[in-house]
Chains A and B, each alone.
Chain A
Amino acid sequence: MAILAINNLTKYYKDVRALTDVSLKVKAGEFVTVIGRSGAGKSTLLRCVNRMIEPSSGRIEFDGTDMRSLGRRDLRRARTRIGMIFQHFNLVPRQTVIENVLHGRLGYKSTLQGSLGIYGDEEKNHAVEVLERLGLAEQMHKRCDQLSGGQKQRVGIARALVQDPRLILCDEPIASLDPSSSKTIMDHLHRISRDMKITILMNLHQVDVAIKYSDRIIGIREGSIVYDGEPRKLKKKTVAEIYGSDADDILFEESPD
């Protein structure tokens, strides 16, 4: 069953068209990666799903809800079930790890409780448990500006997980991390999708990483989908087309079959 269905999505920034007639369906629990050049529209596509960017036209259905028809309050409610992970982590650096993780619960709170930062014991225990699972138990009371990049991104993942999301949007989650931290992060996200059945929609620059971890790859070029299929069927020629360059200039090995 599709948890996310995007139909004929188009986005204009003033006169510039960023997305053209994009349609795709994502099954519950699927790990989908979007690849494409910088400026191809990957980030716009991701942010149209939770309406952090308003689409110009088209339909976005998440978990049976027509996202574009929602008013302010209902949009907030829908967003609580969509986690988001960012390239630059987007944490509050001066607060502790556990405080940042609990921010993921604010969407479920009344304005009064949320503004005062009042969390229940159940929520706190959940946050601790998620942090332990991500190997951050010892960092829990440290301030986030004392962590390494990889640790910060794990805090970002924990913040998304305490939302109890059905879908996690990942915008270049490993673009500012070293190779070893990148692997840790990708392994965690893979486990989250496999064991917790949380759907993942991710933007990536590294084609090899996308092939290794994804169930499905979507290639975007100049705002349109040019590839949608299994990673092992992705040919060198297609990758060259996605990135708009010569096949010989692409650092990429086809899977032998």
Chain B
Amino acid sequence: MIASLEVRKTFRRRNLIALGSFALIAALTLGSSVVTAFDWPASLRSFPKAAGWMAANFMPDGRALRNAPKIGAKLAETLLVSVMSTVLAAAFAFFMAILGSKTTRLHPLVSGLVRLIASLCRNIPVVAWAMIFLLSYGQNVLTGLLSLFIGTFGFLTRAFMETVDETAESSVEALKASGAPWLATVTQAVVPSVMPQVASWILYMVETNIRDATLVGILTGTGIGFLFDLYYKSLNFPSAAFVVLCIIVVVLLIETLSNALRRLIL
């Protein structure tokens, strides 16, 4: 038996929406490549050539390996800056999240202010923060640290607020109803409820910040980003390639480590 008209209409509508969405994406892709004069065939053809150049020039050699101690030291610096900025930002963000969350806020006005500050810190990209701080602090580690700190603070405040609202709302209601003081509600109900997710967010941010710190380092002239920039601009491609390789290895290592930690906590 053929399906009723109503049922067929519903399914036809669904198919039309799918087709429409696909057409829209295709149009956007084509439209933007026409506007930017992007040459698809040429860019595809250049792949083998680029790979060939990389195989010939972008390969660590003996001279690059001799730079290993220097690269190691700069990598450690970048790693420490990202861990430090994350941990510092997390401490501030947790405090602000408690004031900003609908569940634990003391006053709606304070909560609104916290949300505004967090969103400002979050929505300006870390690289833009770095440029802003470059003007006031110049090219040094503090500039990188500060910009990572601000971006991380904004992001974690938002993430922690959502975690508090999701995981602690019901127990906070219970403790409020029993007449518990506000601070006791936070330390006895909110903190134990949110701890695993908070730790997980911090690990995620450490990973992200190691990547971002590399980029910021190019701007601020510090850490591993600076070293890459230096080698690259002095046409020392083998050493630059070695830096990239080291970064990849460290990022993968950190990710494995943090995944293991996360499994342990959750």
A interface with B by C-beta (< 8 Å):
50, 52, 75-80, 82-84, 86, 88-95, 103-104, 106-111, 114-117, 156, 159-160, 163, 169
Contact = CB atoms under 8 A, between A and B. Distances in A.
Interface string B165-204: 0000011011111111111111111001101100000000
A17 to B, nearest CB: 24
Contacts of B192: 92, 94-95
- Secondary structure call for the B interface: helix
A94 B192 CA distance: 7
A107 B179 contact: yes
Contact of A103 (B173, B178, B182): B178
Contacts of B170: 86, 88-90
B175 A115 contact: no
Interface of B: 170-171, 173-189, 192-193, 195-196
Given A79-B179, A109-B181, 18 more contacts: A50-B177, A52-B177, A75-B179, A86-B173, A90-B170, A90-B173, A92-B189, A92-B193, A103-B175, A103-B189, A106-B178, A106-B184, A106-B188, A114-B184, A115-B188, A117-B188, A156-B174, A159-B174
Given A106-B185, A106-B188, A115-B187, A91 B180 contact: no
- Secondary structure call for the A interface: mixed
Nearest to A88: B170
A63 B255 CA distance: 59
B199 to A, nearest CB: 12
Nearest to A76: B179
12 contacts: A50-B177, A76-B181, A79-B177, A82-B177, A86-B170, A103-B175, A106-B185, A107-B178, A115-B183, A115-B186, A117-B187, A159-B174
B165 to A, nearest CB: 15
A103 B193 CA distance: 14
Contacts, number: 95
A114 B180 contact: yes
A163 B183 contact: no
A156 to B, nearest CB: 8
B178 A104 contact: yes
B179 A90 contact: no
Contacts of B176: 52, 79
Of B174, B185, B192, B193, the most chain A CB neighbours within 10 A belong to B174
A5 to B, nearest CB: 20
A134 B181 CA distance: 27
Question: Nearest 6 A-B pairs (CB), nearest first?
Answer: A114-B184, A107-B179, A79-B179, A106-B180, A90-B174, A80-B179
A85 to B, nearest CB: 9
Nearest to A52: B177
Nearest to B174: A90
Contacts of B173: 52, 86, 90
B191 to A, nearest CB: 10
Contacts of A89: 170
Of B175, B178, B186, B189, the most chain A CB neighbours within 10 A belong to B178
A103 B188 contact: yes
A79 B182 CA distance: 13
A104 B171 CA distance: 11
Contacts of A93: 193
